[in-house]
Amino acid sequence: MEPLEPRLIVVPTDFSAPAAHALRYASSLAERFGAHLLVIYADTFMVPVDFTATAVGAFDLPREAMIEEAREQLEGHAEQCISARVPYEIRVVVDSPVAAITDQVREVGANLIVMGTHGRTGMRRLLMGSVTEAVIRVASVPVLAVSPRTPETASVAKVLCPVNYTPACAAVLRTAAALTDTTTSPLLVVRGVEEHSLGLGFDEMPRLHAWVPPDLVGRCELKLLAMGSPVEQIVGLAREAHASLIALGVSTDRSLVDEVRGTLVERIVQHSGCPVLTVNAFAARALQPAEKVSGLATAQ
C-alpha cells in the first residue's frame, strides 16, 4: 500500500480572506510533500435573479470579459498566496462551485481538497449556504477545511481522531497519519461513550484497540470520552492535547436540525482552532481500491 500523501491538491477560492488563508495553508502542505496545486475559481457568470437597475455597472461586461477578468484576478491571487517553490495551475470554471470542484477533482485525478470556511452559523448559514460543507458531504476524496483561526503553516505534529468504527473513520485515520510530520507522530483516537458507561469500558477499550489498523497501533493513544456536548468536547480536547489536526469520518445522514445548525462535523469545522480533515462514505469507498492496488493519483 502506497502512502496516502497529497500529490495533486485542488484548492477552490472565492478571493475572500478565509480562502486566501486556506490557499497559503495548501501551499505550505504542498511544499512539505512536493505536491502540485490546482487553484480554481468557479462561477456561472450569470446576472443574479434579484438584479435591478441599482446594480448597473456590476454586470455591464460581456460574459467572456467577465471570465477573463476573473482569470486575471485569480492569477494575482495565486501569485500572492503560493510559495515560489510550489508548482501550480489556475483554472476559471464556468459552473456552480460545488459541481465545479467535484468535477475538477475527478478530471485531474486529485487526491485532496483544501478549502477555507467562513464559519457561518444559524440562519445566516442556512440562507447563504456553505460550499465547503456541501463539498465535505459529496467529495470523492478527503477534504481539509481550514478556518481563519488556524495556522497557515501545515505542520501536523499530533492528530485527534474521534471514531465510531465506520469505514469513513478508518479512512480518515489513515489519511491523517500520512499527513503527519513524522511516521511516529502521535494519533489520539477517541471513542465517545455514554457517561454512565465510562467506568465500564472493559469491553469498549479492547474493541477500540482491535479496530485500529495494526500498522498504526504503535502510534495511537486510545481514549474513551463521556460525550455530553460533543462539539465543545472535541474542540476542547484538541486544544488541551495541542492537536494540530482533527480527523473526522463524515456521516451521510442529515436532519432538519442539521440544516440549520450544521452536522456535528460542520460545527466542529466552524469552531476548531486547527484544520479539520474529513472523509465521507464516498471518499472512503474510493480510497479502498487505491489502498489495495496502486495508491492515489499523482500529479502529471
Structural domains of the chain sorted by starting position, each given as residue range(s) with its CATH number in brackets: 8-292 (3.40.50.12370)
Per-residue confidence (pLDDT) for residue 261, from 0 to 100: 39
In this structure, are residues 163 and 220 in contact, taking their beta carbons and an 8 Å threshold? no
Is the pLDDT reported for residue 124 higher than 50? no
Alpha helices in the chain (DSSP H): 17-33, 63-81, 97-108, 122-128, 131-138, 167-179, 204-211, 230-240, 256-261, 264-271, 281-292
At residue 57, the pLDDT reads: 53
More confident call, 161 vs 256: 161
- Bridge pairing between strands 159-163 and 245-249: parallel
When pLDDT is cut at 50, 70 and 90, the band that residue 133 belongs to is: confident
Above 70 in pLDDT, residue 4?
yes
* Residues written for the chain: 300
Residue 17, pLDDT > 80, answer: yes
**Is pLDDT above 70 for 62?**
yes
- Name the residue with higher pLDDT: 59 or 233: 233
Mean pLDDT of 273-288: 92
- Residue 59 has what pLDDT? 52
